[in-house]
Amino acid sequence: MKSIELLGKGEEMHGRAYIKLSADEIEESIKKLKENGFNHFVMLSCVDWLDKGKFELVYHMWNYEEKEHAMLSVDIDRNNDVMKSMSHLFPQIETYEREIHEMYGIKFEGNNRLTPFLLENWPHDPPMRKDFDSKKFVKQMYESIPFIEGDENEGI
């Protein structure tokens, strides 16, 4: 596959190129792919591998001419969750980084729009982390609020 040839590593997975990169290589690689026809940035995903103690960032890129999909994967340490921002390469990366910052707490250096995105007034842990227990949170947060008990004749 072209992307594997270009970057010199990676494997094919279900018809798509899966390329494992280190954090320093990622900017150069995206630039290289972008110059070589991978001009559609599909999305930036984040996977939380709790047991391995790392976050995996997956940059999906698509080449319209070669009809090829490349997934560039980067591991970052779960305890030192800082990553360089790629938002200067594609404008929509900014939004993905905002979301990942909010949902996983990963800080992106160089992205200055890491404002609240989907959540408002969220003082708790980033919710998409595997160690955030949604069910427990629901119980604490929503189920503890009492019903309004009033005269049944009023309302309803």
Partner 1 sequence: MKEYELFIGPQHPGITGNMMYHLWVDGDTVTKAECNVGYLHRGFEKLMESRLWMQNIPLVCRICVPEPDVNEAAYSMAVEQLMDWEIPDRAKYIRTIVLELARIAAYLMAIGSYAGSIGIYTLPQWSMGDRDYILDIFEQLTGARVYHIYIWPGGVRWDMPADLPRLIEKTLNYIEERLKLYDDVLFENRVFFDRAIGVGKIPCNKAIEWGVTGPNLRACGYGYDVRKLEPYAAYDEIDFDIVSYPDLGKFDAHEAGDVYTRMIIRRLEIEQSIAIIRQALKKMPESEHILKHPNWLRWKVPEGYAFARVESSKGEFGYFVVSDGGLKPVRVHVRGPSYTHGINVAEKLLQGANIADVSQILFSLDICPPDIER
Partner 2 sequence: MGLHNGDKMMRYEEWSKLARKASKRSLWMVHFCTGCGAIEMPPVMTSRYDMERFGIAPMATPRQADVLLITGYLTVKTLRRVIQVYEQMQSPKYVIAFGSCTINGGMYWDSYNTIKHLEKYIPVDLYIAGCMPRPEGIINAFLELMKLIDEGKARGWERYQKYYDKYKENQRRVFNFEVKEEEKEEKEQKREKNEEH
Binding footprint of partner 1 on the chain (CB under 8 A): 13-16, 18, 39-43, 45-49, 58, 60, 64, 67, 69, 71, 90-92, 94-96, 116-120, 127-128, 130, 132, 134-135
Residue 28: closest CA among 86, 100, 107: 86
Smallest distance, Å, CB 156 to partner 1? 24
153's contact among partner 2, partner 1, none, with CB below 5 to 8 A by partner kind, is partner 2
| Site for partner 2, rule CB under 8 A | 118-123, 127, 132, 134-135, 137-138, 141-143, 145-148, 150-151, 153-156
Contact in structure between 86 and 98 (CB atoms under 8 Å) = no
Cβ–Cβ < 8 Å for 72, 26: yes
Distance CA 68, CA 38 (A): 8
Smallest gap from Cβ 50 to partner 2, in A, equals 17
* Residue whose pair of structure tokens reads 């609240």 in the numeric block: 116
Q: Which one of partner 1, partner 2, none is in contact with 109 (Cβ closer than 5 to 8 A by kind)?
A: none
Alpha carbons 153 and 156: distance in angstroms, whole number? 8
Q: How many residues does the chain have?
A: 156
With CB under 5 to 8 Å by kind, the binding choice for 80 among partner 2, partner 1, none is none
Name the binder of 154 from partner 1, partner 2, none, CB < 5-8 A by kind.
partner 2
Amino acid at 51: D
